[in-house]
Amino acid sequence: MNSKSLVSITDYSKDKILKILDAAADFEANPNRDLLKGKVVATLFFEPSTRTRLSFETAINRLGGRVIGFSDAANTSTSKGETLHDTIRMVSNYVDLIVMRHPLDGAARYASEVGSVPIINAGDGSNQHPTQTLLDLYSIKKTQGRLENLNIYMVGDLKYGRTVHSLLMAMSHFKPNFTFIAPDELKMPEQYKVFCDKNGIPYKEQRELVGIENADILYMTRVQRERFQDLLEYERVKNVYKLKNAMLDGTKDNLRVLHPLPRVNEIDVDVDSNPKAYYFDQARNGVFVRQAVICDSLGLI
């Protein structure tokens, strides 16, 4: 793999994470900078993801770079049966950097091994989406003023939700205290609890969305119907994990509610006007973080 790629959040050391977050803060203060002038970046979206693609393309445009690419593999040679290997080899000839979204797990790691330019993973199947994790970290740092010693409550689908797994791994550098709130079907997988144990990270597990008075961060995720074999259980669970404005009474002033979006019904719209709701600002932070990651991959910061 070329060392400038970002495939998984674990590719970044603690120092590297902090460097990216500092650079993102600079971009937030001054987003329009011509650092990518004369450079071409490919955004290869083998499956549609409008929010992520627009966020990356905004980042590239604000840096003065040019974008080529596609937003859906249907109209490309992929539909003729071209392998990922050949597409990446070909596009590597044209551009300085590739941002890639792919429906298959592990596609980004593989692309980073066959391409001659850095690859930034914009999501590979259900595996990794590291810039999402970095924008989560940026949002936490910005709203809390620090990353260390925070009470992080993760709620909803902790089994399949890649964002919570990556966030857990990334936060492990900063002495967090976790609370995992999920139904039995969607509990945090054993391997992540073993990881916490090994790294001396305290956590507790509970089934109900109650007792959040000590939370600094409430990280909500979507509970998806297709994860359940028993639909009656889904009907019960989806209401248990629905955050309503009244539930935020008595919580800490610094509490912020995060969500990777899209939200369906796990956060009631009556939360949106609460100053503790942060999920839309969180999405905005993604542009600054992606500016920082792109510049780092090209050795510009």
What residues make contact with another protein under the rule CB under 8 A? 8, 83-85, 103-107, 109-110, 124-128, 191
- Centre a 10 Å sphere on the Cβ of residue 132 and count the other Cβ atoms it contains: 24
Q: Name the minimum Å distance from CB 144 to another protein.
A: 29
Query: What region, left, alpha or beta, does residue 40 occupy, with left being phi > 0 and alpha being psi -120 to 50 degrees?
Result: beta
Output 7 or 255, the one with its CB closest to another protein: 7
Q: Which is nearer to another protein, 85 or 204 (CB)?
A: 85
Nearer to another protein, 31 or 125 (CB): 125
CB of 162 to another protein, least distance (A): 10
Residue with smaller CB distance to another protein, 127 or 151: 127
**Three-state DSSP state, 135:** helix
Strands 119-124 and 97-102, by their bridges, are parallel
Tell me the residue length of the chain: 301
Instruction: Give min distance, CB of 87 to another protein, in A.
Output: 10
Least gap, CB of 203 to another protein (angstroms): 19
Closer by beta carbon to another protein, 36 or else 168: 168
Minimum distance from residue 101 beta carbon to another protein (Å): 14
Provide the minimum distance between the beta carbon of 173 and another protein in the complex, in angstroms, as a whole number: 19
Residue carrying structure tokens 């001396």? 200
Q: Is the dihedral of CA 220, 222, 227, 228 positive or negative?
A: positive
Rounded CA gap, 266 and 244, in Å? 9
Q: Measuring CA to CA, how many Å separate 25 from each of 18, 19, 29, 133, 135? A: 11, 10, 6, 16, 11
Tell me the C-alpha distance between 212 and 205, whole Å: 13
- The nearest distance, CB 102 to another protein, in angstroms, is 8
Cα–Cα distance between 183 and 185 in angstroms, integer?
Answer: 5
Query: In a 10 Å sphere around its CB, with 0-12 CB exposed, 13-18 middle and 19+ buried, how is residue 170 labelled?
Result: buried
**3 state SS of 122:** strand
Nearest distance in Å: CB 285, another protein:
26
Kindly give, in sequence order, each residue whose CB lies less than 8 Å from that of residue 266, ignoring residues fewer than 6 positions away: 155, 156, 220, 221, 222, 223, 238, 241, 242, 243, 259
Q: What is the largest CA-CA distance in the chain?
A: 58
